[in-house]
Amino acid sequence: MATDPSRLTEAKMDLASLYREEIYTDRKVGTLRVLIPVTADGSKDAARETLYQGEAQLMTSMGPLPISFDVEATNLGEAVEKYGDGAKVGIERAMRELQEMRRQSQSSIVIPESGAMPPAGGGGKIHLR
Protein backbone atom coordinates (compact mmCIF):
# COMPACT_ATOMS: atom_id res chain seq x y z
CA MET A 1 0.00 0.00 0.00
CA ALA A 2 1.50 3.34 -1.04
CA THR A 3 1.70 6.25 1.36
CA ASP A 4 -0.78 9.01 0.58
CA PRO A 5 1.30 12.14 -0.24
CA SER A 6 -1.42 14.42 1.14
CA ARG A 7 -0.88 12.92 4.61
CA LEU A 8 2.72 14.12 4.62
CA THR A 9 1.54 17.72 4.71
CA GLU A 10 -0.32 16.98 7.95
CA ALA A 11 2.95 16.60 9.90
CA LYS A 12 3.08 19.58 12.23
CA MET A 13 5.39 20.12 15.19
CA ASP A 14 3.99 21.37 18.48
CA LEU A 15 5.59 24.75 19.19
CA ALA A 16 4.72 24.47 22.90
CA SER A 17 6.52 21.11 23.28
CA LEU A 18 9.97 21.84 21.90
CA TYR A 19 13.15 20.42 23.46
CA ARG A 20 16.84 20.94 22.78
CA GLU A 21 18.73 17.67 22.88
CA GLU A 22 22.20 17.15 24.33
CA ILE A 23 23.97 13.79 24.23
CA TYR A 24 26.48 12.56 26.82
CA THR A 25 28.42 9.31 26.77
CA ASP A 26 31.28 7.71 28.66
CA ARG A 27 32.10 5.70 25.49
CA LYS A 28 32.06 2.50 27.58
CA VAL A 29 28.62 1.71 28.93
CA GLY A 30 26.00 3.93 27.39
CA THR A 31 24.50 7.23 26.42
CA LEU A 32 22.34 9.80 28.15
CA ARG A 33 20.09 12.14 26.21
CA VAL A 34 19.23 15.33 28.01
CA LEU A 35 16.06 16.96 26.71
CA ILE A 36 15.99 20.61 27.72
CA PRO A 37 12.61 22.32 27.26
CA VAL A 38 12.79 25.47 25.14
CA THR A 39 10.45 28.23 24.08
CA ALA A 40 9.69 29.15 20.48
CA ASP A 41 12.76 31.42 20.34
CA GLY A 42 15.07 28.62 21.57
CA SER A 43 15.64 29.93 25.10
CA LYS A 44 15.28 27.57 28.08
CA ASP A 45 11.67 27.12 29.24
CA ALA A 46 11.85 27.26 33.05
CA ALA A 47 8.21 26.22 33.38
CA ARG A 48 8.95 22.65 32.24
CA GLU A 49 11.36 20.03 33.61
CA THR A 50 14.48 18.77 31.87
CA LEU A 51 14.10 15.12 30.87
CA TYR A 52 16.81 12.45 30.95
CA GLN A 53 16.71 9.37 28.75
CA GLY A 54 19.24 6.55 28.85
CA GLU A 55 20.22 4.40 25.91
CA ALA A 56 21.98 1.04 25.82
CA GLN A 57 22.31 -1.94 23.51
CA LEU A 58 21.43 -5.52 24.30
CA MET A 59 23.38 -8.02 22.21
CA THR A 60 21.14 -10.75 20.77
CA SER A 61 21.70 -13.56 18.30
CA MET A 62 20.09 -11.27 15.69
CA GLY A 63 22.47 -8.41 16.48
CA PRO A 64 22.30 -5.40 18.81
CA LEU A 65 18.89 -4.39 20.14
CA PRO A 66 18.63 -0.70 21.14
CA ILE A 67 17.12 -0.11 24.58
CA SER A 68 15.76 3.29 25.69
CA PHE A 69 14.61 4.15 29.19
CA ASP A 70 13.71 7.18 31.24
CA VAL A 71 16.00 8.23 34.09
CA GLU A 72 14.29 10.12 36.91
CA ALA A 73 16.78 12.85 37.86
CA THR A 74 17.02 16.56 38.53
CA ASN A 75 20.51 17.10 37.06
CA LEU A 76 23.09 15.41 34.85
CA GLY A 77 25.18 14.05 37.75
CA GLU A 78 22.14 12.39 39.30
CA ALA A 79 21.15 10.96 35.90
CA VAL A 80 24.64 9.43 35.52
CA GLU A 81 24.34 7.89 39.01
CA LYS A 82 20.90 6.42 38.23
CA TYR A 83 21.80 5.22 34.72
CA GLY A 84 22.55 1.63 35.82
CA ASP A 85 19.23 1.17 37.62
CA GLY A 86 17.35 2.61 34.65
CA ALA A 87 19.23 0.35 32.23
CA LYS A 88 18.35 -2.70 34.32
CA VAL A 89 14.64 -1.80 34.21
CA GLY A 90 14.81 -1.08 30.46
CA ILE A 91 16.55 -4.38 29.71
CA GLU A 92 14.08 -6.35 31.87
CA ARG A 93 11.19 -4.68 30.01
CA ALA A 94 12.76 -5.53 26.64
CA MET A 95 13.29 -9.16 27.69
CA ARG A 96 9.63 -9.47 28.75
CA GLU A 97 8.52 -7.99 25.42
CA LEU A 98 10.78 -10.40 23.49
CA GLN A 99 9.44 -13.37 25.45
CA GLU A 100 5.87 -12.26 24.79
CA MET A 101 6.60 -11.89 21.06
CA ARG A 102 8.12 -15.39 21.00
CA ARG A 103 5.12 -16.79 22.87
CA GLN A 104 2.70 -15.16 20.46
CA SER A 105 4.58 -16.35 17.38
CA GLN A 106 4.74 -19.93 18.71
CA SER A 107 1.06 -20.06 19.58
CA SER A 108 -0.23 -18.50 16.38
CA ILE A 109 -2.45 -20.71 14.26
CA VAL A 110 -1.75 -20.76 10.55
CA ILE A 111 -4.90 -21.07 8.47
CA PRO A 112 -4.32 -21.95 4.81
CA GLU A 113 -5.88 -19.72 2.18
CA SER A 114 -9.08 -20.81 0.52
CA GLY A 115 -8.40 -23.59 -1.97
CA ALA A 116 -4.98 -24.38 -0.52
CA MET A 117 -6.13 -27.65 1.07
CA PRO A 118 -5.45 -30.82 -0.93
CA PRO A 119 -8.50 -32.63 -2.26
CA ALA A 120 -10.02 -35.38 -0.13
CA GLY A 121 -8.16 -38.65 -0.50
CA GLY A 122 -4.69 -37.20 -0.81
CA GLY A 123 -2.95 -35.24 -3.46
CA GLY A 124 -0.60 -33.44 -1.09
CA LYS A 125 3.16 -33.80 -1.27
CA ILE A 126 3.54 -35.27 2.23
CA HIS A 127 2.80 -39.00 2.53
CA LEU A 128 2.81 -40.95 5.78
CA ARG A 129 3.86 -44.62 5.73
Q: What is the pLDDT of residues 5-42, one digit of tens each?
A: 666 667 899 999 999 999 999 999 899 999 999 999 99
Residue 117 lies in a domain: no
Work out how many domains the chain is built from and give that number.
Answer: 1
Residue 39 lies in a domain: yes
Instruction: Label residue 109 by pLDDT band (50, 70, 90).
Output: low
Residue 62 lies in a domain: yes
Residue 92 lies in a domain: yes
Residue 97 lies in a domain: yes
Degrees (nearest 5) of the Cα angle 93, 98, 103?
125
Residue 10 lies in a domain: no
Q: What domain range is 71 assigned to?
A: 16-104
d(CA 82, CA 79) in angstroms, rounded, equals 5
State the DSSP string of 33-85: EEEEEB-TTSSB-TTS--EEEEEEEEEETTEEEEEEEEE--SSHHHHHHHHHH
d(CA 17, CA 15) in angstroms, rounded, equals 6
Question: Which one-letter amino acid corresponds to residue 30?
Answer: G
Q: Give me the torsion for CA of 51, 77, 25, 56, rounded to 10°.
A: -60
pTM for the structure as a whole: 0.69
Contact between 82 and 72 under an 8 Å Cβ cutoff? The reply is yes
* pLDDT tens digit sequence for 43-93: 999 999 999 999 998 888 888 889 999 999 999 999 999 999 999 999 999
Residue 33 lies in a domain: yes
Residue 65 lies in a domain: yes
